[in-house]
Amino acid sequence: MSDSEERISFTYATGIGFEKSVSQNEIDSKRFEEEAAKALQFGNHFWVIFAAYKVQDPESVMQGNKILHMDSENFACVFPIGCYNCEQAYSPQIAYKRCRGEQS
């Protein structure tokens, strides 16, 4: 792993996850985390939508360290809008409450 790369990991709610080395220009996870922390600092929710794509052969969607374009042929589902910090699903009632960042 070079200086321009970082290790990212993602864990689904089911507990299944992955780790990968990516270059900073491919994904700016640091900026994403900073924006999420900034929202939490002010008690704001950080609303996100995650999309899932099915992959039969992970190597086939990679070009070096870059993930190739994923399209409707690979699309599996979109998860409901939720707060990245507190992991609560969006609802008008939750939106009006302060985010405490307490993940369930």
pLDDT tens-digit series, residues 69-99:
677 788 888 889 999 999 999 999 999 999 9
Token pair belonging to 59: 């190597």
Q: Report the distance separating Cα 89 and Cα 78, nearest Å.
A: 13
- DSSP bridge pairs for 19: 9
Residue 95 is predicted with a pLDDT of 93
The pLDDT score that the predictor gives to residue 33 is: 86
Low-confidence ranges of the chain (pLDDT < 70): 1-29, 64-66, 68-69, 103-104
Q: Which pLDDT score is estimated for 6?
A: 53
Helices (runs of H) and strands (runs of E) counted in the chain: 2, 8
What pLDDT shows up at residue 1?
Answer: 46
So where are the chain's domains? 5-96
d(CA 69, CA 22): 15
At 27, list the tokens.
């994904």
The Cβ-side half-sphere exposure at 41, using a 13 Å CA radius, reads: 6
- pLDDT score of 34: 87
